[in-house]
Amino acid sequence: MKQIIIHTFTREEIETLDFSRFEALYGHWPQLWAVELKEKFDSLVFLVDGYNDHPDEIYVIPEIRAYFQELHRKWPWWAFFLCNEQASMAVTYLCLVDCVDSFKRQGDPSCAASFDPQPLLQILLHDFGRMNYLWSIAGMSEEANDRRSDEILKLFTGGITHD
């Protein structure tokens, strides 16, 4: 059974750009081998606490965006480890694009993001290189790697994938 690990970043960590707790818990993950590494694939969910009453979506709040941009610079392994369920990966990656807007219709609990996909696709393609590296160490199949890449691209391209 797949294990999901939920990591919650606190408002204090975000405002002070404190990565120490995250690094202590997950910093070693990219150095794992074979079965241990494979078990960590698609298992990590990022949550943010302390902004529950904030009217904006996570990916448009400047301090959260700055935090995730720096985290991605320090730990660019997201494409392998982040769980690709319930928009967790999409929301986290949206923090990395320079310009993103959030739209919500009155009475509708869901929200839509508007952004230029090209810069995000460049980030993803860069991250796919790291994902492929970990994929090979974990001994995972090329077919599964292609499926994962397509799933991630579909989050941001409306279903258009690569061949």
The percent of residues above 70 in pLDDT, for the chain, comes to 87
According to the 3-state scheme, what is the secondary structure of 106-135?
Answer: CCCCCCEEEECHHHHHHHHHHHHHHHHHHH
Q: What integer best gives the mean pLDDT of the chain? A: 88
Question: For the segment 59-96, what is each residue's pLDDT rounded down to a tens digit?
Answer: 888 999 999 999 999 999 999 999 987 678 888 898 89
Distance CA 143, CA 124 (A): 18
Average pLDDT over residues 132-158: 91
Prediction pTM value:
0.87
Distance CA 149, CA 160 (A): 12
**Confidence check: pLDDT of 162 > 50:** no
Residue 36, token pair as written in the block? 């241990």
pLDDT for residue 160: 47
Residue 41, token pair as written in the block? 């694939």
